[in-house]
Structure 1
Amino acid sequence: MNGAGVDGAAVDGAAVNGVGPVTVIGGGPIGLAIAWRCAAAGLAVTLHDPQPGSGAGAVAAGMLSPVAEAYFGEEELTGLLVASAARWPAFAAELTAASGIDLGHRGEGTLVVGLTRDDAAAARRLWTYQRQLGLALTPLDAAALRAAEPSLTPRIGAGALLPDDHQVDPRRLVTALREAAVRAGVRLVPSAVTDLDTIGAGTTVVAAGWASGALTGLPVRPVKGEILRLRAPAGAAPALRHVIRGQADGEPVYLVPRADGEVVVGATVEEHADTRVSAGAVLRLLRAATALVPELAEYDLVETAAGLRPGTPDNRPLIGELPGRPGVLVATGHYRHGIVLTPLTAELIRDRITVGATLPDSVTPGRFAASQTRKAQSWT
């Protein structure tokens, strides 16, 4: 693959002379990172968003989980996650230097656990698959689990350490990206774009999350996720050292600890487009969280929130030219993976604009147009 491949560096030696202005639609982590990278490359960049950082990124937990999110039949997506996660340490350091803001990037790794016998059996099947892909995963016995996380319930039936699955604070990330973008010369316009035809000459990048579907006609849909934020009582030490992911009586849950005593608990997955938080979702998440870490029952419930993830039919993002619209690129459809895929997506879009780098076939929007053509032909 030419240019900024998934596993390679950006093409060197090509100038940005002759590249017109860039307009980015959407001020979440993806849009802000693209704007920052393009501006840092010497391009004139304008970003449109009524409230940058107010979308799904403000609700996200911030897990960087290439291994825990490696599911059966999604090998191409797993490759993207692994490639982008490997970029995160350098990306975080560069962004902190550019913005002066710490991102809360932590690398203790993630513990994946199963509570019941059925939970443990399902977890072991997935671990076998993930290890077959060559991903880093170390099964742990009960004693090792308790040593790593003393607050875990002794009822845990199985566990594993994923050393390459880290975390970042998405709210700090958005603040840092906005600051770095402004310092690099990005012009922020606090308004929405509802019609691509209103954008002038140059390159347009649609990075508007689930709202990108209406702008582009691509199959991007909103997938609701509800999340909770707990906080340790005043004076209490944080209950957790690692991100915890797993199942409690069949209910999937994750726990993401912050250094200040906050624990993010999430998240539901629902095919809805509203952002209300239901009592049932809160009940399910708290029941699963406290089943894994009983101490969390004593924490304060300080926030409940819901966000809309941008889903696609194959769960892979859409990165590249919008079919039939010269000069329009898209960077959307990241579903649950927007935070971990931020560095790679920004790099791919920047290098496509500046040096014409080739994009991975697995992410180009044309894959759906081609699929629709084949389907139409099969009906004739």
Structure 2
Amino acid sequence: MAKGSLAVIGGGVIGLSVARRAALDGWVVHVHRSDETGSSWVAGGMLAPHSEGWPGEERLLRLGLASLRLWHSGFLDGLPDSVVTARESLVVAVDRADAADLKTVGEWLAAQGHPVEPTTAAREIEPLLAQGIRHGFRAETELAVDNRAMVDALAGHCERLGVRWAPPVAELTDTEADAVVIANGIDAPSLWPGLPIRPVKGEVLRLRWRRGCMPVPQRVIRARVHGRQVYLVPRHDGVVVGATQYEHGRDTAPAVTGVRELLDDACAVMPALGEYEFAECAAGLRPMTPDGLPLVGRLDERTLIAGGHGRNGFLLAPWTAEAILGELNGVPLPEADVVGGAVRVR
């Protein structure tokens, strides 16, 4: 028996995850989405709360770890195994200052009760690393997914559950559903003015394996390169390299400086990538909040927000779906204690 009708505005990983979870729970769901690709199409697809963490981000770490557990305990049910492209992260440092940063992160994680496994022999774990790279740590529970395959798989599962597609809306009154979830990324403030969500640009590259090249790494490689961060995420046909991060309005044109730095840093970490095909360069707009925490909760009796996930949309998708379902059913998640911007998330 249907619990009620739900309109989800936004067809990225967050909107589709919310729609799927609600449909599984018995809601009649419509997803309002456009044909344009958003930030989910450009993402690296890392599920990496340990290796993304930094002192001062304790609440984000807790959310990320809670959501990673959901990835491991059922969120992938009904989806093809092929969406997962890596089941471990290796975080490495190029120089001594980078190694000191990694030590800081490792000590902070241990202080939070989530120690990682340090190593001074990173090339024994990943032989394709550049000579001289020794220091790092392993995060063995972290995952990576093919972001595009994941979005397609979620959409397919939604269809099998009876979720219907609908065109974008300009006003919340354009839908007559019992409840509405705003999950359209950087466009959320257009539907609810005052939401503290802004676009933050990030370039991402795709390098394709070619015959005769060294093989694709089997784990995510995250590196600090002279203070900058770069990640290498396996795909079935190559590697995703990312990502820059800076404020530039709604500009999605890749910039030469950002692309050059990503290529230089990627090859400094794994020189064999220089033989791969340069297949794609794209830029996406992450929906960021002032404090870096997502906005997930109720705005009024009918309207909920699931936005502002920044660089962690894929990681936090399962937790967000559970939190929204809890709000819809009147049983909020006990760990939903994050304050994001102006929205109180219990």
- State the TM-score, normalizing by the size of structure 2: 0.93
- The one-letter code of the counterpart of 1:221 is R
**C-alpha displacement of 1:108:** 3.4
**Paired residues of 1:320 and 1:363 also in contact (CA < 8 A):** no
1:116 matched to 2:104: no
1:82 matched to 2:65: yes
Q: State the distance in 2 between where 1:297 and 1:338 align.
A: 30
Q: State the distance in 2 between where 1:164 and 1:112 align.
A: 13
1:28 matched to 2:12: yes
| Number of aligned residue pairs | 342
Give the alignment partner of residue 241 of structure 2, picking from 252, 265, 268. 265
**Paired residues of 2:295 and 2:307 also in contact (CA < 8 A):** yes
- The one-letter code of the counterpart of 2:99 is A
Q: Specify the SS of the correspondent of 2:314.
A: coil
**Which structure has more strand as a fraction of its residues?**
2
- The one-letter code of the counterpart of 1:43 is W
Stretches of structure 2 lacking an aligned partner (at least 5 in a row): none
Q: 1:347 to 1:92 in 2, by over 3 A?
A: closer
Q: 1:233 to 1:113 in 2, by over 3 A?
A: same
**Paired residues of 2:213 and 2:275 also in contact (CA < 8 A):** no
**C-alpha displacement of 1:125:** 1.4
Q: 1:63 to 1:269 in 2, by over 3 A?
A: same
Query: Equivalent residue for 1:48?
Result: 32
**C-alpha displacement of 1:102:** 3.4
Q: CA RMSD in A?
A: 1.8
1:368 matched to 2:342: yes
**Paired residues of 1:268 and 1:281 also in contact (CA < 8 A):** yes
Q: 1:281 to 1:181 in 2, by over 3 A?
A: same
**C-alpha displacement of 1:162:** 1.2
Q: 1:251 to 1:239 in 2, by over 3 A?
A: same
**C-alpha displacement of 1:235:** 4.8
Query: Equivalent residue for 1:174?
Result: 151
Query: Equivalent residue for 1:13?
Result: none
Query: Equivalent residue for 2:112?
Result: 133
**C-alpha displacement of 1:130:** 1.4
Q: State the distance in 2 between where 1:103 and 1:48 align.
A: 27
Q: State the distance in 1 between where 2:7 and 2:324 align.
A: 12
Identity of aligned residues (%): 39
Give the alignment partner of residue 329 of structure 1, picking from 304, 308, 313. 304
Query: Equivalent residue for 1:206?
Result: 182
Give the alignment partner of residue 78 of structure 2, picking from 86, 90, 95. 95
Q: State the distance in 2 between where 1:358 and 1:115 align.
A: 41
Stretches of structure 1 lacking an aligned partner (at least 5 in a row): 1-15, 371-380
**C-alpha displacement of 1:239:** 3.8
Query: Equivalent residue for 2:328?
Result: 353
Task: Provide, for residues 62-82 of structure 1, a one-character-per-residue CA deviation record: whole Å limited to 9, x for no partner.
Answer: 100010122111111110000
Q: State the distance in 2 between where 1:114 and 1:185 align.
A: 47
Task: Provide, for residues 277-334 of structure 1, a one-character-per-residue CA deviation record: whole Å limited to 9, x for no partner.
Answer: 0111110000000001111111110000011111001111111111xx3200010110
**C-alpha displacement of 1:234:** 2.1
